[in-house]
Amino acid sequence: MDDSTNSSATPAATSDGVGVGDEPLEPDAVVDFESAGVGDEETLARLRAVSFYLDEAFEIPGTNYRVGLDPILGLVPGIGDATASALSAYILVEAAMLGVPRATLARMLGNVVLDATVGSLPLVGDVFDAAWKANARNVRLLETRYDDASPAAAAADRRFLLAAVAAIALLLVALGAATVLVALWVLGQVGLL
């Protein structure tokens, strides 16, 4: 054992983050993915694989239609839909790290939210998951918008976002109107109107 090293104590750091007699402290959690050998093509291949397993891993016997783990996981109450949604969100995060335009990311997020919302309904949601295939849609969007800064692609994304915002606004207005009508009906049944 060498007595010249002091492994039980670390040098005290001064207020400027520099240890006494040491180099400036630098974060050790910084990872440069490009120099680590993780390229965009590898990321795209990984996302295609995740999408395949979630949406198209199994062929329904006697048909040419394929389903994945997403609708199957949805059959497990509680954790199934949450797990599938987390994997869908992983595709979205990787797309953001690849530099996909924000409008496309918003469109992809809309697909994930719709899939998670409708997919959480018992049985009906599982059929929707099998038909909607949000992950396959998102990977196709990622592939078409990756390195595509054309005005036509941006305009298509803006049109989609505008339609989505309009649909959500109409849904909220309809929900508000339905709530008022139900409240009036209940008050009428109770005899307060």
pLDDT the model gives residue 32: 44
Q: Are the C-beta atoms of residues 187 and 193 closer than 8 Å to each other?
A: yes
Q: Taking 50 as the threshold, does the pLDDT of residue 122 lie above it?
A: yes
Can you give the pTM of this predicted structure? 0.61
Residues of the chain with pLDDT > 70, as a percent, come to 76
Interatomic CA distance for residues 137 and 160, integer angstroms:
14
pLDDT average, residue stretch 51-62: 93
Q: Are the C-beta atoms of residues 120 and 81 closer than 8 Å to each other?
A: yes
* Mean per-residue pLDDT over the chain, rounded: 78
pLDDT average, residue stretch 138-157: 77
pLDDT the model gives residue 22: 53
Query: Is the model more confident about 82 or about 99?
Result: 82
Burial 3-25 (b: 16+ CB within 10 A, else e): eeeeeeeeeeeeeeeeeeeeeee
pLDDT the model gives residue 128: 92
pLDDT digits (tens, 9 = 90+) for 66-79: 999 999 998 888 78
Q: Which residue type is seen at 43? A: T
